[in-house]
Amino acid sequence: MLDTTSVSPRALLARRKPGFSLEQAFYTSQEIFDLDLEAIFFRTWIYVGVEPDVPDEGDVMVVDIGRASVLILRDDDGEIRAFHNVCRHRGARIVHDEKSSVGKLVCKYHAWTYDLDGKLLRAEHMGADFDTSCHGLKPVHLKSVEGLLFICLADEAPADIDDLAEKMGPYLKPHAIRDTKVAHQVDLIELGNWKITMENNRECYHCAGNHPELTIPLFEYGFGFSPESMDETKAKEAHRYECMVDDLHGEWEGSGFPSKEIDHLDDRVTGFRTQRLPIDRAGESQTLDTKVASTKLLGELTEAKMGGLSFWTQPNSWHHFMSDHIVTFSVIPLSPDRTLLRTKWLVHKDAVEGVDYDLKRLTEVWIATNDQDGTLVGYQHSGVKSPAYEPGPYSPYTEGLVEKFVNWYCLRLADHLG
């Protein structure tokens, strides 16, 4: 095996070849994994969940990112707040379950009691001179983009999240995330580096060969293709898809649903991309029969055939917004070779399971697709560890967004290293 630790991350970055996958150390070294947490996950905006994760006052969600643990809660005024999950007494973690409801936040250790605005209310035996006001929970930056929750662990959070929120607002609003509920959540641990999980997500080169379920609703051409490598049937398909995008975008935009591509994946700190993509066949939803999985459409939507609005953010999320449901994904690194992929399926908050939607129909496409992707990530990671691995070239046609992800990552790392 190559000695990856002998080359500094700065030097590795400097010799990175654009258009190629990263050198082995980026995927396997503990040092670079630690650097990824510091430079990326503790500095940029991280997608962690949705407002309906904490639907009522007193609901708390815990999200662990590396050595940080964050409480996301809805306070008594209905406001969502984020705090470090660390007691100001001797540092014990306060909340341990991923989801819970509390009256106040009480550290189990010595019962220090905090209000939901983070203020320390009560600490017994600390004496008359003890100033509770200096020992409130430490806040974490939180931004809700139309109900999608982003946190930033840095002291100073990148300000361009506001611009993202402004640009994405009109795209996301019709799907009324705040009026949904989490119908299902799956936590999948993929046996690969988090960047491999992200790279896999940023292309559909592998779709036709691996995702029989997903490619029923999803066109593989939505993420680029090489015209000369296609036979006549495929070329016709691709042409049909391009015409369809033009027609539907005109139609959707005309009726007030922004659909056109916005791509800022690697030209800003808070990178993102969006586009409303057509859905094949019945055209309604990412299901096996491409019809809606939930008969209660989201928000004010009255038309089922709204395609699938895709929204990607750097470094760790992607989302599909359909007329009837939303599938939202967040990626959290666990170790150099283990990554948590957290998938949530959202339906209208009033939709009743078994009446308005069938959970199996709602989730089967992405459960199958995630499993297939998890396997592929494992394949790549185990191969990347091999002494034979060397960075390989990305397809200029189908892997442009992978290159943008890797480029963004390298820019952020370089910025951090100074």
Q: Which stretches of the chain bind other proteins, using CB under 8 A?
A: 56-58, 76, 101-104, 106, 111, 113, 121-122, 124
> How many of the other CB atoms lie within 10 Å of CB of 284?
23
Residue 78 or 387: which CB sits closer to other proteins?
78
Q: Which residues pair with 394 in a beta bridge?
A: none
Residue 121 or 368: which CB sits closer to other proteins?
121
At closest approach, how far in Å is the CB of 344 from other proteins?
20
At closest approach, how far in Å is the CB of 107 from other proteins?
10
- Which residues contact residue 95 at a Cβ distance below 8 angstroms, ignoring those fewer than 6 apart? 60, 62, 71, 85, 102, 105
Residue 76 or 300: which CB sits closer to other proteins?
76
Secondary structure percentages of the chain, helix, strand, coil, to 5: 35, 25, 45
At closest approach, how far in Å is the CB of 104 from other proteins?
6
In Å, how far from its chain's centre is CA 221?
22
Q: With residue 331 as reference, give the H or E element that holds it.
A: strand 325-335
Are residues 398 and 238 in contact, defined by beta-carbon separation less than 8 angstroms?
no
> How many of the other CB atoms lie within 10 Å of CB of 166?
10
Residue 111 or 352: which CB sits closer to other proteins?
111
Distance CA 407, CA 199 (A): 11
Residue 73 or 204: which CB sits closer to other proteins?
73
Distance CA 309, CA 259 (A): 7
Say if residue 212 is preceded by a cis peptide, omega within 30 of 0. Answer: no
Are residues 331 and 316 in contact, defined by beta-carbon separation less than 8 angstroms?
yes
Distance CA 180, CA 301 (A): 13
Distance CA 399, CA 418 (A): 28
Residue 116 or 406: which CB sits closer to other proteins?
116
Distance CA 241, CA 58 (A): 47
Residue 181 or 296: which CB sits closer to other proteins?
181
Residue 87 or 214: which CB sits closer to other proteins?
87
At closest approach, how far in Å is the CB of 137 from other proteins?
15
At closest approach, how far in Å is the CB of 148 from other proteins?
24
At closest approach, how far in Å is the CB of 101 from other proteins?
5
At closest approach, how far in Å is the CB of 49 from other proteins?
19
- Is 111 in a helix, a strand, or coil? coil
At closest approach, how far in Å is the CB of 102 from other proteins?
7
